[in-house]
Amino acid sequence: MDSLWPIYGLDAADTFPDYEAIFGRSAPLVVEIGFGNGETLAQLAGNQPQTNFLGIEVHRPGVGQLLLRLQARELSNIRIFCADAVEVLTNQIADGSLSGVNLFFPDPWPKKRHHKRRLVNPEFISLITRKLKSGGFFHAATDWEDYAQQMLDVLERCDQLENTAGETKFSPRPAHRALTKFECRGQKLGHGVWDLIFIRK
* Domains of the chain by residue range: 5-200
Asked if the model's pLDDT at residue 109 lies above 70, the reply is: no
Among 95, 89, 199, 55, residue whose Cα is nearest residue 137: 199
- Give residue 111's pLDDT band: very low, low, confident or very high (50, 70, 90): confident
Q: What is the mean pLDDT of residues 120-133?
A: 97
Q: Rounded to whole angstroms, how far apart are CA atoms 135 and 140?
A: 16
Annotation marks residue 11 as catalytic: no
- Give 71's Cβ-side CA count (13 Å radius): 13
pLDDT in tens, 32-79: 999 999 999 999 999 999 999 999 999 999 999 999 999 999 999 999
Active-site choice (107, 146, 159, 195): 107
Specify the CATH number of the domain 5-200: 3.40.50.150
- Give residue 182's pLDDT band: very low, low, confident or very high (50, 70, 90): low
| Structural Rg of the chain based on CA atoms | 16
Distances (CA, A) of 85 to 72, 102, 169: 26, 12, 27
pLDDT in tens, 37-47: 999 999 999 99
